[in-house]
Amino acid sequence: MDLPSSAPVGGLVDRAVTGLGLRSSEAALDQAKYLHHAGSPWSLALAALGVVFGDIGTSPLYAFQVALTGLSHSPPVAADVVGVVSLILWALVMMVSLKYVVFILRADNDGEGGILALLSLVAADQVAKGARLPVLVLLGVIGASLLYGDGVITPAISVLSAMEGLKLVTPGFEKFILPATIAVLVGLFMIQRHGTGSIGKLFGPVMVIWFVVIGGLGAINIWMAPAILKAVNPVEAGHFLIADPKVSFVVIGAVFLALTGGEALYADMGHVGATAIRRAWFGLVLPALLLNYFGQGALILADPAASDNPFYKLAPGWALVPMLVLATFATIIASQALVSGVFSLTRQAMQMGLSPRARIIPTSVDEAGQIYVPAANWLLMTGTLLTVALFRSSENLAAAYGIAVSGTMLITTILLYRVAVSRWQWPPGAAIPVIAVFGAIDATFLVSNSIKIVEGGWFPLIVGAVIATLMLSWRKGSSEVRDRLHQMSMPLKQFLDYADKAVIGRAPGLGVWLTKVEHGASPMLLRHIGHNRVLHQTVVLLTFVSDRRPRVPFHERHSLQRLGHGFYQIQVRLGFMQTPDIPLSLLNCNRLGFDADLEHRNYYIAHETIVRREAGSAMDPVSFAIFSFLNRIASRAPDFFKIPHDAVIEVGFRVEI
C-alpha cells in the first residue's frame, strides 16, 4: 500500500479498523480507559478503600500516641488531650478534606494524579527539554524525591507499629517485634512480582472491616467518656496552641502524622477516579478516623496511664490478638499501596526524562497501571529493611516520617497555584488567599517537623537529596546527549541525496532504526552507511516522543512520513504512563495502512560511548560521573523497548558532551 508523502497514521484509524475489522488490544484498552473507569461508582469506592486509603487509614496506630509524647509532662491532663484531638480533627478537615479531596483532586492530568503528573500539567515543556533548570521543575523533582523517601519509611513504620502490639499480648513477645516486622516486609516485597491483580479484590473488604472496627471501638470509648466531644470546637485547639507555644509547636509535628497518606489520595487517583475517592473518604474513612481519634482521647481522659499505646488499649483484652492480626493486614495493604505508587512514579520519571531506563513488567492484562519494576522493588526493600534496623521502633521512626511528606505537600500546594491560575482560570485575587492559607499550614507543619532533623528527620532528607541528585544529573546528561546527537545528525533532505550516492546495495526486508533524533538522520545511521554501504529495501527511522498527557489515545499515537526511496519516518507519541513497545507499534502501523514485511526485519539501536570533553563541557565532573554510572546500569534497550534479541544489531559510536 502506497502512502502519501506525509500522512498521520492515526488519521487512518477509523477506516482501517472498520474496513479491515482489526483493532489491537492496546487500542481497545486505551479507548476504555479514556472514557471512564470500569465498574459502578460504589464498587470503585470499595476499590479505593484498598488502593488509596491504607496509609492514612493506619495512622491511628501511632499518630495520637506520638503526639502525646511531645507533651512536657506525663501523664497528659484533660486540656492537653482535648486540644490534641481538636488539632487532629481540624487538620483532617482542612488539609485532607478541603485541600486534597475538594481542590487538588480537580487537578487531574487526564485522570492521573501525583506530583509528577501535576508537574507535567504545569511545566510539561520544561521537564525533559533543555539544560536550563526552571524553578517549577526543580520543585517537582524535589517533591518526587521526597516521595521516594516516604516510600522507604511508610512500610517500615506501618508494619512496625502493628507488630508492636505483640508486647501487649505478653511482655515476652517484645523480642519478636523486629524479626516479625522484617519477615512481613520481606514477604511483602517478594510477592510484588505476582502483581496486585490476584489479591486486589481482597484489599477493599479488609479495609472496610478495618475502618468499621476502629470506628466502632472509638465510638464505644466516646460513649464512656463523652467529655472528649468538646474537641469538636476549634477554640479548644486554639487554647492548646497558645497555652504553651513551645510544646504545641512540637506536638504539631506529631499531629501531622494523622495526615500522612493524604498525598496518596492524589497520587493513586488514576486507579479509581476522583469520584470514588470522595465517596469513600466522606462515606467511611473520615468518620471512622475521627471516631477512633476521639475514642483514643476519651480513653486517655478515663485512664491517663493508657497513653503508652492508646490504639490497642481501645480494644478489650479478648480482642487484642484479633486486632493485632487485622492491623497487620491493614499495614500490609497500606505498604502495598505505597509500593505500587513508587512503581508508577518510577515509570513516570522514566518517560519524563528524569530517570534511566528500567525494566517494566505489566502484571495485569486489564489495568495498565498495574506494573512491576524489579529494580525499584529491590532498592525499596533494601531501604525499608535498613530503616527498620536503624530506627527499631515506630516512635523513633515517627521523627523521621513527617518531614518528607510535609515537604511534598507544600510543593504540591505551590504547583496547585499555577494550575488554579493557568488551567482553572482563577483570578490571582481569588487564588492567592486560598493557596496562602494552605501554604501557611503546610509550612507550619514542615517547620515543626524540621526540629526533628537531628532525631531522625535527616534520614528522608538524605534519601530525597540522593534521588534528586540522580534525577537532575540524568536530566542534564540526557539533554546534553540529545543536543549533541542533533548536532551530529544530517537533515533528511541532505541525507536522502547522500544515501543515493553512498549506498551500493539494498537487501530485502525491513530495517528499523531506533533514533533519538526527531528531524534528521542519526549519527548511528550515518556511521553504518559509511562503513557498510548497504541498507534494507525498506528503512524506518523510528522515534518515540514524550507527551504531557498520561496516555495518548490510539488514534493520535502514530504518525508516518514517506521520505521516498524506501525510507519512512515513524513517530510514536506516548504519555508518561505508557511503556514503549516497538514490535507492537510496527504492527499497529501495518494494521493502519503501512504495508511492511514484519516477518523479515532487523532492529538497529545505538551503543553510545559517552565521554566528557576535556574543555568546554557543560557538565561538571561529579554530575557527569553520576550520569555515566546511571547510563551503564540502565536497562538494555532491547528489554525496555521489547525488541526480540535475535533481531537486534547494535551500532557503536562516540558522543562527547
Q: What is the pLDDT of residues 56-93, one digit of tens each?
A: 998 998 899 989 888 877 788 899 999 999 999 999 99
In sequence order, the 6+-apart residues with CB closer than 8 A to the CB of 312 are 165, 168, 320, 323, 324
- Cα dihedral value 34, 358, 128, 468, nearest 10: 120
pLDDT value, residue 36: 43
pLDDT exceeds cutoff 90 at 232: yes
pLDDT value, residue 384: 93
Q: Name which CATH class applies to 37-472.
A: mainly alpha
Q: 22 or 310: which carries more pLDDT confidence? A: 310
The CA–CA distances, whole Å, from 247 to 306, 454, 470, 606 equal 21, 18, 38, 60
pLDDT value, residue 40: 62
For range 384-403, the mean pLDDT: 84
Instruction: Delimit the domains of the chain by residue range.
Output: 6-27+489-656, 37-472
Task: Give the pLDDT confidence of 580-628 residue by residue, as tens digits.
Answer: 999 999 988 888 778 787 888 899 998 888 898 887 788 889 999 999 9
What percentage of the chain exceeds 70 in pLDDT? 90
Q: Which three cell numbers mark 204?
A: 477493599
Q: Are 223 and 374 in contact (CB under 8 A)?
A: no
* Rounded Cα gap, residues 479 and 483, in angstroms: 6
Element containing residue 44 per DSSP (H, E): helix 41-51
Task: Give the pLDDT confidence of 333-363 residue by residue, as tens digits.
Answer: 888 777 877 888 888 888 788 899 888 887 7
pLDDT value, residue 512: 94
For range 285-307, the mean pLDDT: 94
pLDDT value, residue 308: 85
Most confident range (mean pLDDT) of 3-7, 112-116, 375-379, 447-451 is 375-379
Q: Which three cell numbers mark 596?
A: 511492511
The CA–CA distances, whole Å, from 320 to 165, 169, 324, 372, 469 equal 8, 7, 6, 35, 45
Neighbouring C-beta atoms of residue 466, cutoff 10 Å:
13
Q: Is 404 helix (H, G, I), strand (E, B) or coil?
A: helix
| Cell 558532551 found at | 657
| Cell 496562602 found at | 436
pLDDT exceeds cutoff 70 at 634: yes
Q: Is the peptide bond before 75 cis (omega within 30 degrees of 0)?
A: yes
Most confident range (mean pLDDT) of 209-213, 313-317, 653-657 is 209-213
Q: 95 or 116: which carries more pLDDT confidence? A: 95
For range 152-171, the mean pLDDT: 84
pLDDT value, residue 124: 58
pLDDT value, residue 7: 43
Which pLDDT band holds residue 12 (cuts at 50, 70, 90)? very low
Lowest mean pLDDT among 29-43, 73-87, 306-320: 29-43
Which pLDDT band holds residue 31 (cuts at 50, 70, 90)? very low
Q: Is 305 helix (H, G, I), strand (E, B) or coil?
A: helix
Which pairing describes strands 534-546 and 601-611: parallel, antiparallel, or unpaired? unpaired
What percentage of the chain exceeds 90 in pLDDT? 35
Element containing residue 495 per DSSP (H, E): helix 492-502
The answer to pTM > 0.85 is no
Q: Are 336 and 195 in contact (CB under 8 A)?
A: no
pLDDT exceeds cutoff 60 at 23: no
